[in-house]
Amino acid sequence: MSRIELIATATFGLEAVVAKELLELGYTEQKVENSRVVFQGDEKAICRTNLWLRTADRVLIKMGQFEARTFEELFQQTKALPWYDWLPANAEFPVEGKSIKSTLFSVPDCQAIVKKAIVEKMKEKYKINWFEEKGPLYKIEVALLKDVVTLTIDTSGPGLHKRGYRKLVSQAPLKETLAAAMIRLSHWKADRSLIDPFCGSGTIPIEAALLGLNMAPGRQRNFIAEDWPNIPRKLWQEARREAEDLVRRDVTLDLGGFDWDKEVLSMARYHAKEAGVENQIHFQERALADLSTKKKYGYLICNPPYGERLEEEAAVERLYREMGQAFGKLDTWSFYVLTSHPGFEKLFGRKSNKNRKLYNGRIECHYYQFYGPRPPRLNS
């Protein structure tokens, strides 16, 4: 198999979480950069990382990186790359682009030049002058940052947050990748209780169930690279078989999803069933004031409303005060709260042990972490 330079893209702030996931999958040669982790793998790594990465946005093949301040430099250095290693003669290869703080600021021009350069390279290899582009799809991106050009091919297709189980959409849904990151950052383990008191359409408890059962998050969906002749179908079959073999079918989890809205709870139950984890999560209609549990220790992980609109701010601030009172009753539990509200700790009535800047879409948030006492060790 080939040695390939790959990129796992990540929401800003989650790069270290993605890097850890890659290490757990056995990909140790890596470099953490802003919004991405560059790592070394082979064709099977493309299959495995698409199936297993919970917190990355997508997996890209890094075709090349170089400086370019003129269109001629962009053209010649793009053309010098071995595009025919990946693109067959019938490939469909649209080019998308972005440019930040670069001399070459016209994205449409950069896209056109990269496309032309690839066509010229393909002409040399395949000895034809016209490419119909009716075959498998290879989405190419030209990204310029401070005059450094990075050229990539997308192997994922739709973003990795699209697991395949969330068919219905609630208002302002939390991305599955961010929900998974919140759980990973809490260091929750499958033998501990977990409750989301604002579960909405169920994303946090469902992602916890997938993690706790060691279910590959991409096992129910397809990826753009599955149609490529460069990656033998056998490798995808082996990767999917590995994913099925590693599911922990003997585990019973203690997960709760509460919400006051019957409609979104119905949606949450439907999503849990689609994900194959409906027997692992207890969804219940319950107001925040009624938050209670018989379990002595556990994790509350949630993404409450932020009050982004001015007219909602008073209601949200009242909610955060109520959270402080309701959560306070569970004084041996740990709390993890994602919000963009700058005054959350003051309203909640307690300073967090740690907070981390994360982005929910384009909204800058903080992930507030309040640690409860460690549960006593069981005698062995």
CATH (domain of 89): 3.30.2130.30
Mean pLDDT of 182-195: 97
Distances (CA, A) of 301 to 194, 201, 207, 331, 360: 7, 14, 12, 15, 15
Residues 348, 206 within the same domain: yes
Alpha-carbon distance 205 to 301, whole Å?
9
On whether the CB atoms of residues 54 and 180 are closer than 8 A, the answer is yes
pLDDT at 288 over 90: yes
Rounded to whole angstroms, the Cα distance separating 64 from 78 reads: 8
pLDDT exceeds cutoff 60 at 212: yes
Instruction: Print the domain residue range for 336.
Output: 176-222+233-245+254-370
Query: Of residues 72 and 171, which shows the higher confidence score?
Result: 72
Q: Are residues 288 and 147 in the same domain?
A: no
Specify if 380 maps to a domain: no
* In a domain? residue 227: no
Q: Which tens digit of pLDDT belongs to each residue from 228-260?
A: 999 999 999 999 999 999 999 999 999 999 999
Count of helix runs (H) and strand runs (E) in the chain: 10, 14
Cβ atoms of residues 302 and 197 within 8 Å: yes
Nearest to 368 by CA among 339, 342, 331, 333: 339
Q: Which amino acid is located at 316 in the chain?
A: V
Q: Do 150 and 184 lie in a common domain?
A: no
Bridge partners (DSSP) listed for residue 335: 300, 370
Whether the predicted pLDDT of 377 surpasses 80:
no
Share of the chain above pLDDT 90, in %: 92
pLDDT of residue 380 exceeding 80, the answer is: no
To which residue do tokens 């922990």 refer? 248
Task: Please say if the pLDDT value at position 226 is more than 70.
Answer: yes
Amino acid making up residue 98: K
- What's phi and psi for 274, nearest 5 deg? -60, -35
Determine the 3-state secondary structure of 198 from DSSP: coil
Do residues 203 and 110 share a domain?
A: no
Which tokens go with 103?
A: 């001399």
Q: Specify if 57 maps to a domain.
A: yes
Mean pLDDT across the stretch 171-183?
Answer: 90
Q: What does the alpha-carbon distance between residue 85 and residue 230 come to, in Å, rounded to a whole number?
A: 8
For residues 205 and 285, state if they share a domain: yes
pLDDT tens digits for range 37-56: 999 999 999 999 999 999 99
- Same-domain status, 182 and 128: no
For the four alpha carbons of 189, 191, 193 and 198, in that order, the dihedral sign comes to positive
Mean of the per-residue pLDDT values of the chain: 95
Whether 138 and 268 map to the same domain: the answer is: no
pLDDT of residue 313: 85
Quote the CA–CA distance of 10 and 18 in Å, as a whole number.
Answer: 7
Assigned domain for 340 exists:
yes
Q: What sign results for the dihedral spanned by CA atoms 203, 206, 212, 215? A: negative
**CATH code for the domain in which residue 298 is found:** 3.40.50.150
Question: Residue 69 above 70 pLDDT?
Answer: yes
Give the other-Cβ count within 10 Å of 145's Cβ.
13
Tokens of 291: 């938050």
Q: Are residues 23 and 133 in the same domain?
A: yes
| 131 and 188 inside one domain | no
Whether residue 301 is contained in a domain is answered as yes
166 part of a folded domain: no
Quote the number of domains for the chain. Answer: 2
**Residue 120 sits in the same domain as residue 263:** no
Residues 6+ apart with CB under 8 A from 290: none
Neighbours of 36 (CB within 10 A): 23
So what's the pLDDT on residue 307?
76
352 and 259: one domain? yes
Residue 228 lies in a domain: no
Of 178, 155, 255, whose CA–CA distance to 17 is shortest? 178
Domain-located, residue 112? yes
Residues 11, 79 share a domain: yes
